[in-house]
Amino acid sequence: MSTISGSRRLGRVPSWGRVDDDAGYLTFDCTPRTFDILVSGFASSIQRSPGRERIFGIPRSGPLDTLASQLANLLVGNDLNTDIIKIALKGPKIYFHVDCVVAITDTVFNAAVGKRDVAAGNDG
């Protein structure tokens, strides 16, 4: 297979791909950069910033604290107006498929990674 993987027909095997000698074809390792909401919590919702202006009697929407949502996005390296998850009262249980950075913009909020509690202001 090493001869085939270096051939002009296949080109070079990218660093994230490998040739499976048993199967005889090129395979790729792919981990989705997604998350699953395992338990929705209570009153959690996705908020778009800056939100919708009042049109045709539909009330204005978006995060209540626009500055906090923009600061959270800034902390994790997102565009300032990237959608956020607003959590009220009881938060969701979320499974992240890959390591990621999360910003919580509340002064009193209990969070855990696995079974380990994370204190406010903790960067790890």
58 with 43, same domain? yes
> 124 in a domain, yes or no?
no
Are both 13 and 56 inside the same structural domain? no
Side chain identity, residue 66: T
Domain ranges, residue 35: 31-118
13 occurs within a structural domain: yes
Average pLDDT rounded to a whole number, residues 90-95: 87
Tell me whether the omega of the peptide bond preceding residue 50 falls within 30 degrees of 0, making it cis: yes
Q: Is the pLDDT of residue 28 over 80?
A: no
Q: Are residues 57 and 69 in the same domain?
A: yes
Question: Is there a single domain that holds both residue 23 and residue 35?
Answer: no
| Residue 3: band (very low, low, confident or very high) from pLDDT cuts 50, 70, 90 | very low
Confidence at residue 52, expressed as pLDDT on a 0 to 100 scale: 66
Q: Are residues 76 and 57 part of one domain?
A: yes
Q: pTM value?
A: 0.63
* pLDDT at 2 (0 to 100): 46
Clarify whether residues 103 and 46 are in a common domain: yes
